[in-house]
Structure 1
C-alpha cells in the first residue's frame, strides 16, 4: 500500500448545488461584531472529518442524510445561508437572503485504510476533497459555507467543510456541526440554540483603546525575514505525556505547574526561532489564540457562535530567546495569555474601528491555535465519532510557515497526545528537529525520561 503522503486517487463530483433552509427564514441585515470583521479573519478556513463504515447504517447514504440535515439546521442558523456585504468603514454585515450554502456530493475510488493509521494533516488530494467550486471562495457576496461529502469504497465517507472565518471561530463552528448531527439523528431542534448578539463584541461609543495590542503593530520587514514559500517541508510532531514531562523539567520550579499549552508554545517558539536564524537584534513574536468566552462578566452566552477570541502576542529579541533557558520564553507566553480580559476584548473591538480593522502583523511572527478541546472529533452524523476531525491543513490562514494548530491525536500505541504540524523551509526544518530532540532529552542527572517524539515528513 502506498504511504499516505504519496496516495493518489480520483474523485467524481456531482455539480455543486445550493442548500437553502428547509423553511422560510427572515430577510434582514445582521452586522458582524468588530472582532469578526477584522482583516485577519477575512479568509476561508477548511475543516475535514473522516468517518468509518458503520454496518448499522448500511443502506443509508451519508450525502443524502447530511444534505437534509444541513437544510434543517439552517432554519436555526439562517445567517449562514446569506451573503456578506461591506458597508462604510469596511463594516461587514450578513444579508440574510436564504440563498443557501454550497454543497457537493462526491465519490472517491479509495478506502479509509489507504489514508494510513495516523490521520493528520497534510491530507493527500485535499483540493479534491474540499473542491474550490467557481465563485465560492470570496469573502463578500459568496456562500459562507461550502460542504463536500465524499463517499469512500469501504463504506466510510469524508465530510469536508470550508468556512468564511468572519462568521465563526472553532467553538462556534463545532456548535453548528453538532446541530447538523442532531438533525441527522432526527431531532427537531438543536440542543444548544444559536445566539447571534454580535453587539456584545462590538466597539463602544465612543471607542477608546485602553489596553496594549502589540499584535497589531505596524512592523516593517527591514531584513526580508518573511519565510520563503519554495522548498517547504511539512513535519507533524507528536507530544504525549513523556514529551510534555520532559519539557516541564526544563522549566524553573515555580513555573512547572504551567499548562500544557504554555510549555508547548514556549518550546516551539524557541525551537522555531533557532531554526529560522533571524538577526539576533531583531524582535520575534508569538501569537497565542485565546478563547475569551469566559473572560466577560457576565460571560458570553451559551450558544454564541461568532468569533470570541484574541491574538495576544509575546515579543522578544531573537538572540535573548535563543540564548536564555526555557523559563524565559515560558514567562512571556504566560503573560501574553493572561493579558486577555473582558476589558482587553472591548479595547480590541474599539481598536478595530479606530484603525480600519487591521491585520495582525506576520513579520517575524509565529501563531499557534489550540483546537484540542474544540470537539471536532465528537461530531456524529449517525456513523459515530470521527476517525479524525479538525483542521484540514497544518497552518492557519493563507501564509505557510506562519502558524500551527495543536490537534488532539491518538498514537498507534493508543497514547493520547497532541500533534503539531509545522511547515518550514527544508534547511530550517532540519535545525528545528535537531533542537527539539535536544530539548526532549533527559536533563543532566535524570535518566528516567525518554524521547518518543515521531514526525512524518512530506514535501509540500
Structure 2
C-alpha cells in the first residue's frame, strides 16, 4: 500500500517555458460540434502523465504546448499512478482559463525532460471531448503520425448519434436517477480535514483470497470477477470509513463503456463520451450489516442491466432532466484496466507508467499493477485523513 511520494515533490524543481500555441498545418474547419448529454455531464479537466524512458529524439507536439526541464532523474518520481496534486501541478500545465468552456483550451501539453534523458508527457484534456477509450485512441493516433505512419483508426466526430429520442422514452425507475442526500456530515469532513490520496496494491494472491471470502461460508455468490470483488470491498470499506449513518443512502456508480452495447450505431473510432454509470443503491446499514456477497450481487445486477434500451433510456433521462448523479456520499469507480497505453510509441517505445493528477473526491480508480511483474490491480482514491486511516485497515488482506 503506497502513499504519495511526497519526497519527489519536495525535491523536484521544474523550469517551465512560456506556453505557446502550435497551430495546425491546415485551417481548422469552422462550425460547432454537438455535445451529447453525456458529454455535457463531463465538464471537468482530466490530467494524465505518461512517463517515457530515455530518448534521443526531439518531440514535435501540437496545441498549447509547454517545455520544461527537471533537476533530477525520472526514477526519482517513483510511482506516478496517482500523483500528489502539487507534483501534478509541476508536470501538467493547467491554463488559468480552463474552466471557461467557450474560451479555455480543450487540451494542453507539457513535456518535462529529466537529467537521465527520460521525460514525462503531461496532458490536461477536457472530459467533455472524450472518455478514456477515446483518449488512448487519440494518443495512439498522435504517436502513429509522429512515426510517419498513416492513421490506423479515423476519429468519428458525429455525436448526434447519441441524441435523445423524440419524444423521450424513459423506462425505469432506475436507482441511477435517485438523488442521494448527505445526512452523515460527509461533506464537512472533506472540507475540514486534509485530503489524503493513496493507492492499494492487490496482487493475484490477494484477489484470490478476497474472492474466496466472498464465495465461501454459505454466502450467496458461487463466483465473481476480480473487478466485482474489489468494487464490493471498496464500496463497503469507504462507507464504513466515512462513518455513514445506518439510514444514509450509499450509492455506488460504475463507469461503463457502452460502445459494444450499441455496436450498430457507435462506430469504431467514436471520439466522444460513451460512458454511463449504472448504480447500486442501499442504506449504509444494509451494506455493512449484510455479508459482502450481498454487495457483489448488487454490482452484478447493475452491470447486467446495461442493454441498448437502458443506454437509450438513460440518455433520454439526462437530456430531459439535466441530472447530476454525483456527490461525495456516492462513490464512482472507474476502471482503467483495459486502457492499453503500452502501444503509445512516438519512436522509442511505449511509456513505462501512466498516472493521473487530479482525481475527484468521489472517484476511485482501478489500474493495472505492473510492479514486480505480477498481475494485479491498483486501487487509488482520496479520503479525509481520519477516514483514510480506517479505510486502510478495512481493505487489508
Please confirm whether the aligned pair reaches a TM-score higher than 0.5, indicating the same fold. Answer: yes
Unaligned stretches of 5+ residues in structure 1: 71-100, 441-460
1:311-460 aligned at under 5 Å gives the runs 311-355=277-321, 357-393=322-358, 395-396=359-360, 400=361, 402-411=362-371, 413-437=372-396, 440=397
* Equivalent residue, structure 2, for 1:292: 258
* Equivalent residue, structure 1, for 2:67: 105
Q: CA deviation at 1:258?
A: 2.1
Which whole-Å deviations, capped at 9, do the CAs of 1:342-367 have from their partners, x for residues lacking one? 11111122112211x22113152111
> Quick one: distance in 1 between partners of 2:384 and 2:87?
22
Structure 1 contact 220–363 (Cα < 8 Å) conserved: no
Which whole-Å deviations, capped at 9, do the CAs of 1:132-174 have from their partners, x for residues lacking one? 2332343232211111111111111110111110110000011
Distance 1:223 1:389, change over 3 A: closer
* 1:236 matches 2:196: no
Structure 2 contact 95–105 (Cα < 8 Å) conserved: no
Aligned length: 386
Tell me which of 245, 251, 259 is aligned to 2:214.
251
Q: CA deviation at 1:33?
A: 1.7
> Quick one: distance in 2 between partners of 1:168 and 1:200?
15
Q: CA deviation at 1:288?
A: 0.6
* Equivalent residue, structure 1, for 2:52: 51
TM-score (ref. length: structure 2): 0.92
* Equivalent residue, structure 2, for 1:455: none
Structure 2 contact 83–356 (Cα < 8 Å) conserved: no
Structure 1 contact 43–139 (Cα < 8 Å) conserved: no
1:122-133 aligned at under 5 Å gives the runs 122-123=83-84, 125-133=87-95
> Quick one: distance in 2 between partners of 1:352 and 1:386?
37
Structure 1 contact 48–161 (Cα < 8 Å) conserved: yes
Q: CA deviation at 1:427?
A: 2.1
Structure 1 contact 46–160 (Cα < 8 Å) conserved: yes
* Equivalent residue, structure 1, for 2:180: 219
Q: Secondary structure at the match of 1:376?
A: coil
246-255 or 266-275: bigger deviation: 246-255
Structure 2 contact 183–245 (Cα < 8 Å) conserved: no
* Equivalent residue, structure 2, for 1:29: 32
Q: CA deviation at 1:128?
A: 1.2
* Equivalent residue, structure 1, for 2:153: 192
Which whole-Å deviations, capped at 9, do the CAs of 1:425-460 have from their partners, x for residues lacking one? 2222222122222xx2xxxxxxxxxxxxxxxxxxxx
Q: CA deviation at 1:114?
A: 1.0
* Equivalent residue, structure 2, for 1:172: 134
* Equivalent residue, structure 1, for 2:58: 61
Distance 1:436 1:136, change over 3 A: closer
Structure 1 contact 122–392 (Cα < 8 Å) conserved: yes
Distance 1:325 1:223, change over 3 A: closer
Structure 2 contact 232–292 (Cα < 8 Å) conserved: yes
Distance 1:246 1:130, change over 3 A: same
* Equivalent residue, structure 1, for 2:226: 260
Q: CA deviation at 1:216?
A: 3.6
> Quick one: distance in 2 between partners of 1:4 and 1:21?
38
Distance 1:271 1:182, change over 3 A: same
* Equivalent residue, structure 2, for 1:6: 7
> Quick one: distance in 2 between partners of 1:422 and 1:306?
25
> Quick one: distance in 1 between partners of 2:277 and 2:111?
32
* 1:205 matches 2:166: yes
* Equivalent residue, structure 2, for 1:74: none
361-370 or 375-384: bigger deviation: 375-384
Q: Secondary structure at the match of 2:40?
A: coil
Structure 2 contact 93–122 (Cα < 8 Å) conserved: no
> Quick one: distance in 2 between partners of 1:20 and 1:345?
37
> Quick one: distance in 2 between partners of 1:142 and 1:23?
21
What CA RMSD, in Å, does the superposition of the two structures yield over aligned residues? 1.9
Distance 1:106 1:213, change over 3 A: farther
Q: CA deviation at 1:319?
A: 1.2
> Quick one: distance in 2 between partners of 1:30 and 1:424?
37
